[in-house]
Chains A and B, each alone.
Chain A
Amino acid sequence: GESVGLHLPTLSVQEGDNSIINCAYSNSASDYFIWYKQESGKGPQFIIDIRSNMDKRQGQRVTVLLNKTVKHLSLQIAATQPGDSAVYFCAENISGSNTGKLIFGQGTTLQVKP
């Protein structure tokens, strides 16, 4: 079946280093992808999104890269801060589905060491 998954369940980085969180998706019809951040005790919070007609998009300290050839998505966080500690989810939307439904990956926990 179709699925969205993350390569590593936990990522530990030193404060100030860059973080890279990866996501693999299997549905070639997916045309829109979102990264969410979920802090402990809170709901998922939108970070950045990208459409399939792009391969890179930048936000404030975050960059999302999309490689459609290998169905891979990554989130890069520059100069990681303690406040970046959270669980990060990728989600995909399937083109033409018109359902608004998102398929979520299982999440990667980012731990930032001071």
Chain B
Amino acid sequence: DADVTQTPRNRITKTGKRIMLECSQTKGHDRMYWYRQDPGLGLRLIYYSFDVKDINKGEISDGYSVSRQAQAKFSLSLESAIPNQTALYFCATSEMGALTETQYFGPGTRLLVL
């Protein structure tokens, strides 16, 4: 969905490097999320944010940090990448106050840590 974009789409890095994954959305949604997807494990929540001043840890936040620079931008950082952080990363958004919690996903970033 072009309303939610992620950069880069693919990234190869080395152990110990710091990297940042970026997410932008034009849907005007307040809520943004970062997920990690591993084969056989579905999607797991890393961090989520309800607005610019609100950041919350998800179920697997260790080794990650986030920054909500604006309503439309939410970035995920790996301060010191390790091989078991190799995964597919997705950003998602949802509308606060909506009757449902439908989340809309970006195309994903494939990260390989060597």
Interface residues, chain A, with chain B CB atoms under 8 Å away: 9, 32, 34, 36, 41-46, 49, 51, 89, 93, 99-102, 104-107
B62 interface hit (Cβ, 8 Å)? no
How many angstroms from the CA of A36 to the CA of B33 in the assembled complex? 16
Segment at the interface with A among B12-20, B40-48, B65-73, B79-87: B40-48
Interface residues, chain B, with chain A CB atoms under 8 Å away: 1, 4, 31, 33, 40-45, 48, 50, 56, 58, 90, 92, 94, 96, 100-108
Q: Let me know if A105 and B31 touch, CB within 8 A.
A: no
Q: Let me know if B1 and A45 touch, CB within 8 A.
A: yes
How many angstroms from the CA of A36 to the CA of B48 in the assembled complex? 19
B residues less than 8 Å from A100 (CB atoms): 31, 33, 48, 50, 94, 96, 101, 103
Known: A100-B103, A106-B41; 19 extra A-B contacts, CB below 8 A, are: A34-B103, A42-B108, A43-B1, A43-B92, A43-B105, A44-B43, A44-B90, A45-B105, A46-B104, A49-B100, A89-B43, A93-B101, A99-B48, A100-B31, A100-B96, A101-B45, A101-B48, A101-B58, A104-B44
A residues less than 8 Å from B56 (CB atoms): 99
Min CB distance A14 to B, Å, is: 26
How many angstroms from the CA of A106 to the CA of B39 in the assembled complex? 9
